[in-house]
Amino acid sequence: MYDIPAPMLAKAVAEIPDRPGLSFEPKWDGFRALVAWDGTDVEIGSRGAKPLTRYFPELVAAFARLLPEPCLVDGEIVVAVGPPGAQHLDWPALSQRIHPAASRVALLSTETPAMFIAFDLLARGDRDLQAEPFAERRSQLEDLLGGVPDPVHVTRATADAAQARRWLAEFEGAGLDGVVAKPLDLPYAPGKRTMLKIKHARTADVIALGYRIHKSGEGVGSLLVGLYDDSGRLRNVGGVAAFSNARRLELVDELAPLVETDADGAAVTGATDRSRFSAAKDTSFVRLRPERVLEVRYDQLEGDRFRHTVQFERWRPDRDPQSCTYDQLETVGAYDLADVLQ
């Protein structure tokens, strides 16, 4: 079996670079996966320490059946939902696939089967390709997997920055979350941020609903924020984190006048819903009166919540909390996933 390295990573940049020597790809919103097939066994490594092999038995079977020869492939595991002609990636359906019960894993492998999107080739047979430039690895990837059917796909790629900008605008409607730029002349660099990623940058005015204490036990670890829906209900839409040590302590004092208290003067607390990713985490938070507005930066909406942790931009004392509604969020046009996979 091949030794599975740490995946090569990407650093964020504000816009698609327009210079020669780059290959652009859609940025898939799924689980990063390095697939090793030695001709007998399949192993699926992840970006973290947890192997993914047991959670995707349908992909393990597909790799053993479809991969033409032993290889080590870098890519993304995704789940698509929707009828033909209107399919899109679905993060909640994908996240449900990580389940401790073997019976549940087996059921979901048929109810929400996954696909694998290949975008790099690290080894082919006895040949280690990691030291080769990406241009060669991409050529080898297309030669090896270009004719392999669903659920294995080779990601689209272009050297045209204008085409990449169109992808950035259009493919979000199919559930993708940006574009990746890869230098054609660089070798594979495990754990290094040698690729570039361009994601959608948007802002929204949201209401501070509460805060969690930092894991150190001191200061604000994250702010919970919300928006009003069409019925006037205030909904939790995500969290704001990444404060400095000093700022975490300052926020406790800043937010103290907004803390809800009970009849005895004690702070009122609540708890957010747990997921299998937060099962071991403290989900309690200190409730705040919904009176303070802040502007945040976000990249994508997933259902009625922000897809990722959002970034604090500034306080907005000029904004009325009642004006913080979903209406301000950009609506993304639908785009069929099948057109991205071509």
User: Catalytic residue numbers?
Assistant: 27
Burial environment of residue 213 by CB neighbours within 10 A (0 to 12, 13 to 18, 19 or more): middle
Residues 340, 171: Cα–Cα separation, whole Å: 7
Question: Cβ–Cβ contacts within 10 Å for residue 122, how many?
Answer: 26
Which phi and psi angles does 336 have, rounded to 5°?
-75, 125
DSSP state of 310: B
Residues 27, 177: Cα–Cα separation, whole Å: 6
* Integer CA distances (angstroms), 337 to 26, 81, 91, 321, in order: 11, 9, 14, 37
Instruction: Give the N- to C-terminal CA distance of the chain in Å, as an integer.
Output: 31
> In this structure, which amino acid lies at residue 176?
L
Residues 15, 257: Cα–Cα separation, whole Å: 40
Burial environment of residue 221 by CB neighbours within 10 A (0 to 12, 13 to 18, 19 or more): buried
